[in-house]
Amino acid sequence: GQQLNQSPQSMFIQEGEDVSMNCTSSSIFNTWLWYKQDPGEGPVLLIALYKAGELTSNGRLTAQFGITRKDSFLNISASIPSDVGIYFCAGRNAGNMLTFGGGTRLMVKP
């Protein structure tokens, strides 16, 4: 099925560094969601965005709904070892179905 273009595919960073990842699409979405998946677990919802231009924070996480409605980014500030995991973006269209990005695998070196 259709996937969003999520980048980077993987990141290996030093603890304390900031992280940025993004998703782009050729289609317009009404909602952008960001999930984190730990090994052996299901995805956990981090942030939901419902309005073009919206900027939302959840602790050290900040995400924005692109003004064109075709992109979104997620930033993590001052990364810590427990930030390790796979981050997925997902866009929801008018049909209420989610389309997922390919994921960004984050590795943090203590």
Partner 1 sequence: SAVISQKPSRDICQRGTSLTIQCQVDSQVTMMFWYRQQPGQSLTLIATANQGSEATYESGFVIDKFPISRPNLTFSTLTVSNMSPEDSSIYLCSVVGNEQFFGPGTRLTVL
Least Cβ distance, residue 22 to partner 1 (angstroms): 15
Q: How far apart are the first and last CA of the chain?
A: 37
Q: How far is CA 91 from CA 24, 83, 94, in A?
A: 10, 22, 10
**Strand bridging mode 98-100 / 85-92:** antiparallel
Q: Which of 36, 72, 100, 108 binds partner 1 (CB under 8 A)?
A: 100
Q: Quick one: which of 87, 88, 91, 106 contacts partner 1 (CB under 8 A)?
A: 88
Q: Identify the residue among 79, 101, 106, 108 touching partner 1 (CB under 8 A).
A: 101
Residues from 17 through 56 that contact partner 1 (CB under 8 A) = 33, 35, 40-45, 48
CB 35 within 8 A of CB 45: yes
Evaluate whether 86 touches 105 at the Cβ level (below 8 Å): yes
- Nearest-approach distance from CB 16 to partner 1, in angstroms: 28
- Name the site residues for partner 1 (rule: CB under 8 A): 1, 3, 33, 35, 40-45, 48, 88, 90, 92, 96-98, 100-103
